[in-house]
A and B are shown apart, each in its own frame.
Chain A
Amino acid sequence: MALTGGADTTARKAKWWFVNAVVVVYALVPVLWIASLSFKTKETINDGNFVPREWTLENYRAIFGTSEFVRALVNSIGIALIATAIAVVLGTMAAYAIARLDFPGKRALVGVSLLIAMFPQVSLVSPLFEMERGLGLFDTWPGLILPYITFALPLAIYTLSAFFREIPWELEKAAKMDGATPAQAFLKVIAPLAAPGVFTTAILVFIFCWNDFLFAISLTSTERSRTVPAALSFFTGSSQFEDPTGTICAAAVVITVPIILFVLFFQRRIVAGLTSGAVKG
């Protein structure tokens, strides 16, 4: 309605604000609780206070003191980065072809990748376990990187082909007319314009790999390739009889913070449409 009264608008705004607040609180409270627990001392950990009465960095010192966690962190970073790089490179090529070319089997390709994205991962865990043991990939980096690429590719292809479709076709034609070879047209015109899309996709894929627990717990058995989400479940605290809650929370915070920073930091870059002004608009 064009003619909405001022009072009405305010009431409506208040309502939306309230709904948003509820959603945000619902989502954030558990996260903040974990953060709070990670700063509590062993003695106060079960006191039920939201704000710690006694602050300590002991839990963080403890996890970085164990090779278990540091090793898992290295595995997480390494595996997620490699899987992201490969998935994004393959996804870029596939998405470009899907967005720009008409080739036989294009629909089938898109359909299959959709199917993979929809497939319940848990049903693949046992076959993968057996296959990886047979192939000697079990409990290795490639053993995790491969399934990550498989499941991240559909996501990458979808996001990227949406971005590629946004780039005006005519820019590539213009580049060709200006004397560019197909490779030059891609590198000098299409790639710079697709960069925000590639970047966004890389972040999404990285988060997917970084957060995975299912494959990490099923396809690893030692520190050799165990990633942080899996390693967390093996935390025992510094001695056998100690309650590991504080250290688990600290580790959880350590692996959550990079993701939050990523999203906050790159949000604007992701949203900014670099393509505006290419055509008449």
Chain B
Amino acid sequence: MADIVLDKVTKRYPDGAVAVRDVDLEIADGEFVILVGPSGCGKSTTLNMIAGLEDITSGELRIGGQRVNERAPKDRDIAMVFQSYALYPHLTVRENMAFPLRLAKVDKETVRRKVEEAARVLDLTQHLDRRPANLSGGQRQRVAMGRAIVRNPKAFLMDEPLSNLDAKLRVQMRTEVSRLQRKLGTTTVYVTHDQTEAMTLGDRVVVMRAGVVQQVGSPQFLYDHPANLFVAGFIGSPAMNFLPATLEEGVLRSPLGDITVTDRVRRLLTDAGAPREVIMGVRPEHFEDAALVDEQSLARGVVYRGQVDVLESMGSDKYAYFSVEGERARSAELEELAADAGVADLSSSGVGTVVTRLSAASAAREGERVEVFFDPDKVQLFDPNSGRNLTYAGD
């Protein structure tokens, strides 16, 4: 077990493309760190550099305090779980899991004991003598995990290990991975595309965009205090609503109405040197049906009255969609997020949409007008040009 330090690590591919730029990251011993970001942002490249499968163009990688830039993967003592599992098709499950131990010249009896121990933990005992081709997706996934854990490596690297599983199995394996990591306490770097995996699995989340780290922090911190538009839009599901707004003498003029800026926010804005034109962001879950909010809160908050375009009832709560007047908020980061989510076509329709999550008790109906309440203190404001969070309260 060991800590992993990336010190200004950069990767430039031979064709000139810079996949990863100046990444600084300190992963503590035993920590579970998640790398997230849209497709092509350099997550796999970063992981492969830690693994030793890709050369580091510049910067330094230290594992357990030692520089390992020049070390071959086999000398780094790190195990990796691949998205495709990469099981050896000509070997049985037992031989697959024993492979790293046999290469390490561990004696037969120990190999047998360790493989059987891992198989027991992963519930693979009855499949030990089968070949990968005859296993289900979930079982193959567990064999891949087994091959990684048998030799107690210094760290685990996982590249979207669950993305080939169906939704139900993914949830099950997610808890499995979490349980296993907690039990073994091995430093883990986990790459994913998936919101839920990023939020639930890791001690810390690293959000990347185009090869650059945007923000590092605990899932809750990133949710509460996104450093910029990109992180704000990436973390949270459904995504944060973004609307253009104007700051005028302590009042925020927005499509949701005029909002008096609270003292706390005013101070942050002054410190950040906020421009007049801003982008405001409100999370869907910070809205509530005004009819269900007590008088006291109502008095402190903002009420928006609009017609519900679409209402989705999830049982536990309801999602109400509104079209608001005026343009959508525009910024390069938002376009990129939309493209990654596959909703780029939405950006062509100029109208702003707002998604709100209301309690199941709400009486909102499709096509009817309804009043929704939100707390102005939960509103985040961003600089449309740099994407910087103007209300960022972190350090």
Are A and B genuine complex partners?
yes
A65 at the interface (CB under 8 A from B): no
Q: Once the chains are docked, how many angstroms separate the CA of A279 from the CA of B140?
A: 9
In the complex, are the beta carbons of B85 and A279 less than 8 A apart? yes
Indicate if the CB atoms of B84 and A279 lie closer than 8 Å.
Answer: yes
Q: State whether A170 touches B89 (Cβ < 8 A).
A: no
A276-B133, A277-B132, A279-B84 in contact; A177/B51 too (CB < 8 A)? yes
**Chain B positions 104-153 with a Cβ under 8 Å from a chain A Cβ:** 104, 131-135, 137, 140, 147, 151
Judge whether B131 and A277 touch: CB under 8 Å: yes
Other-chain contact of A170, B52, B86, B131, B132 (Cβ < 8 Å): B86
Contact: A280 with B103, CB < 8 Å? no
Q: Is A181 an interface residue (CB 8 A)?
A: yes
- Which one of B80, B88, B104, B147 has the highest number of Cβ atoms from chain A below 10 Å of its Cβ? B88
Please indicate the chain B residues that have their CB under 8 angstroms from the CB of A275 in the complex: 89
Known A178-B99, A179-B103: A277·B87 in contact at CB below 8 Å: yes
Which residues on the A side are within 8 Å of B88 (C-beta)? 171, 174-175, 189, 278
A42 sits at the interface (CB 8 A): no
Of B31-39, B71-79, B363-371, the segment with at least 4 beta carbons within 8 Å of chain A is B71-79
* B133–chain A nearest beta-carbon distance, Å: 2
A278 surroundings in chain B (CB, below 8 A)? 84, 86-89, 132-133
A180 at the interface (CB under 8 A from B): yes
Q: Report how far A176 CA is from B85 CA in the complex, Å.
A: 14
Q: A179-B74, A179-B100, A184-B103 are in contact. Are A174 and B89 (CB under 8 A)?
A: no
A277 pairs with B53, CB closer than 8 A = no
Given A171-B86, A278-B89, A279-B84, A177:B79 Cβ within 8 A: yes
Question: A168 near B84 (CB under 8 angstroms)?
Answer: yes
**Chain B neighbourhood of A171, CB < 8 A:** 86, 88
Among A154-199, those with CB < 8 Å from B are 168, 170-171, 173-181, 184, 188-189, 192-193
Q: Could you tell me the distance between the alpha carbons of A176 and B137 in the complex, rounded to whole angstroms?
A: 23
Scoring B79, B99, B147, B151 by chain A CB atoms within 10 A of each residue's CB, the highest score goes to B99
Indicate if A274 sits at the interface (CB-CB under 8 A). Answer: yes
Knowing A277-B131, A277-B134, A278-B132, the reply to whether A178 touches B90 (Cβ < 8 A) is no
Could you say which of B52, B78, B87 has the most chain A C-beta atoms within 10 Å of its C-beta?
B87
Does B82 count as interface, using CB distance less than 8 angstroms? yes
B residues in contact with A279, CB < 8 Å: 84-86
Residue contact A181 to B74, C-beta cutoff 8 Å: yes
- CA A175 – CA B90 in complex, angstroms? 13
Q: A177-B79, A179-B74 are contacts. A168–B104 as well, Cβ < 8 Å?
A: no
Q: Answer whether residue B164 sits at the interface, using C-beta atoms and an 8 A cutoff.
A: yes
Q: Are B164 and A280 in contact (CB under 8 A)?
A: yes
Q: How far does the alpha carbon of A192 sit from the alpha carbon of B131 in the complex, in Å?
A: 15
Interface residue total, chain B, C-beta cutoff 8 A: 32
Q: Which of B196-238 contact A (CB under 8 A)?
A: none
**Nearest-Cβ distance from residue A135 to partner chain B, whole angstroms:** 43
Q: How far is the CA of A80 from the CA of B320 in the complex (A)?
A: 77
Does the CB pair A193–B89 fall under 8 Å? yes
Name the interface residues of A265-281: CB closer than 8 Å to any CB of B.
274-280
What residues of B have a CB within 8 angstroms of the CB of A102 in the complex?
A: 14
CB distance from B82 to the nearest CB of A (A): 5
Please state if B140 and A177 are interface contacts (CB–CB under 8 Å). Answer: no
Q: Which residues of B contact A276 (CB under 8 A)?
A: 89, 133
In the complex the two chains form, what is the Cα distance from A171 to B100 in whole Å?
A: 13
B78 touches A177 (CB 8 A): yes
Contacts of A189 in B (CB 8 A): 88
Q: Are A168 and B86 neighbours in the complex by a CB distance under 8 Å?
A: yes
Whole-angstrom CA separation of A176 from B135 in the bound complex: 24
**Most chain B CB within a 10 A radius of its CB, from A177, A184, A188:** A177
CB distance from B51 to the nearest CB of A (A): 6
Q: In chain B, what residue has the closest Cβ to A192?
A: B90
**B89 touching A173 by the CB < 8 A rule?**
no
Residue from A176, A193, A280 within 8 A of B84 (CB atoms): A280
A280 in contact with B133 (CB, 8 Å): no
* Complex alpha-carbon distance, A171 and B82, angstroms: 9
Complex Cα distance A76/B100, Å?
A: 46
Q: Can you name the residue of chain B whose Cβ is closest to the Cβ of A276?
A: B133
Contact with B along A126-148 (1 / 0, CB 8 A): 00000000000000000000000
Q: Residues 172-195 of chain B: 1 if any A CB is under 8 Å from the residue's CB, otherwise 0?
A: 000000000000000000000000
Chain B nearest CB, measured from A276 CB (Å): 5
Tell me which of A170, A180, A184 contacts B82 (CB under 8 A).
A170
Residue among B51, B103, B151 having the largest count of chain A Cβ atoms under 10 Å: B103
State how many angstroms separate the Cβ of A150 from the closest Cβ of chain B: 33
Task: Report yes or no: B80 in contact with A174, Cβ–Cβ below 8 A.
Answer: yes
Assembled-state Cα–Cα distance A241/B84 (Å): 72
* Most chain B CB neighbours (cut-off 10 Å) among A102, A176, A276, A279: A279
Q: Which of B85, B87, B90 has the most CB of A within 10 A?
A: B90
Are A280 and B73 touching (Cβ within 8 A)?
no
B130 to chain A, nearest CB (A): 10
CB nearest to B73 among chain A residues = A176
With A177-B80, A181-B74 as given contacts, are A280 and B89 in contact (CB-CB < 8 Å)? no
Most buried by B among A102, A171, A179, A181: A179
Q: How far is the CA of A176 from the CA of B79 in the complex (A)?
A: 10
9 further interface pairs, Cβ-Cβ under 8 Å (given A102-B14, A168-B84, A280-B85)? A170-B84, A176-B52, A176-B73, A178-B147, A179-B104, A180-B74, A181-B72, A193-B89, A277-B133
29 contacts between A and B (CB under 8 A): A102-B14, A168-B86, A170-B82, A173-B53, A174-B87, A174-B147, A176-B72, A177-B51, A177-B53, A177-B74, A178-B99, A178-B100, A178-B147, A179-B74, A179-B100, A179-B103, A179-B151, A180-B103, A181-B72, A184-B103, A189-B88, A274-B89, A274-B90, A276-B133, A277-B89, A277-B132, A277-B135, A278-B89, A280-B164
The 6 closest A-B pairs by CB, nearest first: A277-B133, A174-B86, A178-B100, A279-B84, A170-B86, A278-B89
